A and B are shown apart, each in its own frame.
Chain A
Amino acid sequence: MTTGFLLTVIGVLIVLIITAAGLTWLERRLLALWQDRYGPNRVGPFGIFQAAADLIKIITKEDWIPPTAEKAIFVIAPAAIVATVLMSFAVIPFAPDIVIADLNIGLLFFLGMSSLGAYSLALGGWSSNNKYALLGGLRGVAQMLSYEVFMGLSLMGVVMLAGSFDLVKIVEAQRDIWFCFPQAIGLIVFFTAGVAETRRLPFDLPEAEAELIAGYHTEYSGMKFGLFSMGEYLGMTLISALTTTLFFGGWMGPFLPPLLWFILKAFFFICLFILLRASLPRPRFDQLISFAWKIMLPLSLLNLLVTGGILLLRSS
């Protein structure tokens, strides 16, 4: 454990938490932009300190636990989602020398962590002892399990091309060509699954406010609710960072420093997340699940088959 390593860890953690807070502001501003409004523009320049104001507000809110809830599980659930998402960031190479854990199974680690995130929804929804929360939790788990399947499969094309689960090696393998070109289908499938994994619109059925109040976090208030929404924004950042790493050459790019390239690319995908939210209505739940199993899963399997075939042809 060198000081440099510790600094990286703390630096990444702080930057991520600031990002998650800033994203609440960015999202509101961008949604407003696309709805011909201004959004929060009062606190500080362009309203950027709105995030700080919201933080102060949510910390000082009453943190209420329903007397009928399963207290211990109720408290653990929001922490679980933030913890698992933050853990996933450990394997992401932000720049050639900024990576916390250069695991040789980095991608698997990410998939595992995002699966663990489903527990947060299930436990939160279940322990709240509330019908809507339970329905939201059920939906969340069903959705995450369905989309998890082909999220993993869609990434196997990238793994085959790079010949490694190591994210640093995957970035290195994209020196000649970004994987978004040979793996276009993989990219689309992965990004769709990513949106579903982070439960962002149009796949926000676990918390569909029109039907389920707030879904699995109906009963949460104060900073516990804040943690859920922080988990969502961090998840958005994570999927954007991973899309960048896996399909768009990570930190690679001309002229600008690598870290800046990474941030710019990830920022683009975060904006795309928000644009999706601004544009698309949410589907019905059965449509969502059948879309996953009937279209996305076959598509990712086909992608896998074609990629494997081409690789075999080329090697022989």
Chain B
Amino acid sequence: MVSILKTLFYVFLHTFRKRVTVLYPEVKPRIPPRWRGRIILSLDPNGEERCVACYLCAAVCPVDCISLQAAEDGHGRRYPQFFRINFSRCIFCGFCEEACPTYAIQLTTDFEMGEYRREHLVYEKEHLMISGTGKYPGYNFYRVAGVAIGGKDKGEAENEMPPDDVKRLMP
């Protein structure tokens, strides 16, 4: 009997406690910077597409929600003709970001992606593209890679020596 009254009293004291609920739409929760939210495609510092359409993200995606088609412009730069992510399938595992060799695909802290129609969860390239570099501001794939594109021949990349003349005998 006494224990029951004590229980009642202690529970009643909770009236004056602070409530633990975060009233979400009004109070935004703290999101850690490495949160795996909405996927974006970023640009390199020169404002050109980072994605080289290597298909690694699509290959690694465990739910097959990424679909793209590679193409090449006149200067030898590869780019995705279309790039489509079906967010109604995406499980935000972040494998695509890990697989990406050019830091093009990145996961952001945005998670408020609710839609009334399922079709609206399929994001095309223009929805995924952002105007900046995302998490890696200085990185420019073509400037550090050995592949030749218009305006940058082999051996002209950063920290790259000119290619060996394979017909020369001397080491």
Contact = CB atoms under 8 A, between A and B. Distances in A.
A in complex with B: yes
A36 interface: yes
A38 B19 CA distance: 7
Contact of A279 (B7, B21, B23): B7
B8 A279 contact: yes
Interface in A253-310: 275-276, 278-280
A37 B20 contact: yes
Interface string A27-47: 000000111111001000000
A34 B15 contact: yes
A14 to B, nearest CB: 31
B17 interface: yes
Contacts of B23: 38, 41
A102 B12 CA distance: 37
A34 B14 contact: yes
A276 B9 CA distance: 10
A33 B15 contact: yes
B170 interface: no
B114 to A, nearest CB: 16
- What is the interface residue range for chain A against chain B? 10 to 19
Nearest to B23: A38
A127 B82 CA distance: 62
A280 B20 contact: no
A94 B10 CA distance: 33
A41 B24 CA distance: 12
A276 to B, nearest CB: 7
**Interface SS of chain B:** helix
Interface string B9-37: 01110110111110100000000000000
B27 to A, nearest CB: 12
A201 B11 CA distance: 15
A37 B21 contact: yes
B113 interface: no
Nearest to A278: B11
Nearest to B9: A279
B161 interface: no
B10 to A, nearest CB: 8
Given A33-B15, A34-B11, A275-B11, 6 more contacts: A33-B14, A36-B19, A37-B21, A276-B8, A279-B7, A280-B7
7 A-B pairs closest in CB distance: A279-B11, A279-B7, A34-B14, A38-B21, A36-B19, A36-B20, A279-B8
Interface of B: 4, 7-8, 10-12, 14-15, 17-21, 23
10 contacts: A33-B19, A35-B14, A36-B19, A36-B20, A38-B21, A278-B11, A279-B10, A279-B11, A280-B7, A280-B8
